[in-house]
Amino acid sequence: TLRFTLPSGQRVTSFWNGSATQNGSEVTVRNLSYNGILTPLVGTAWLGFQGSPTGANVAPTDFTLNGTPCTVS
């Protein structure tokens, strides 16, 4: 489970390679049936979304993966 926070007023409008729900500014993403297990040979999951900003378009913050904080590069 990936979680991140969008700035106030931003909304996820579409998401790919995951199932996203949004509650206020918090977005929760869960895997789909075909990408739920990452192995040493396939240790990367690609996902993305389109959003609709109100005001300035600022990057999401506070990423966690399965409850562990993540850095974004």
Give the integer Cα–Cα distance in Å for 5 and 35. Answer: 23
Report pLDDT for 42.
65
Give the integer Cα–Cα distance in Å for 37 and 26. Answer: 24
Cα separations in angstroms, 18 against 8, 33, 39, 55: 22, 9, 17, 26
Residues with Cβ within 8 Å of residue 57, at least 6 apart in sequence? 10
Q: Is the pLDDT of residue 29 over 90?
A: yes
At residue 64 the predicted structure's pLDDT band, cuts being 50, 70 and 90, is: very high
Residues with Cβ within 8 Å of residue 9, at least 6 apart in sequence? 53, 54, 55
**Token couple for 28:** 């929760």
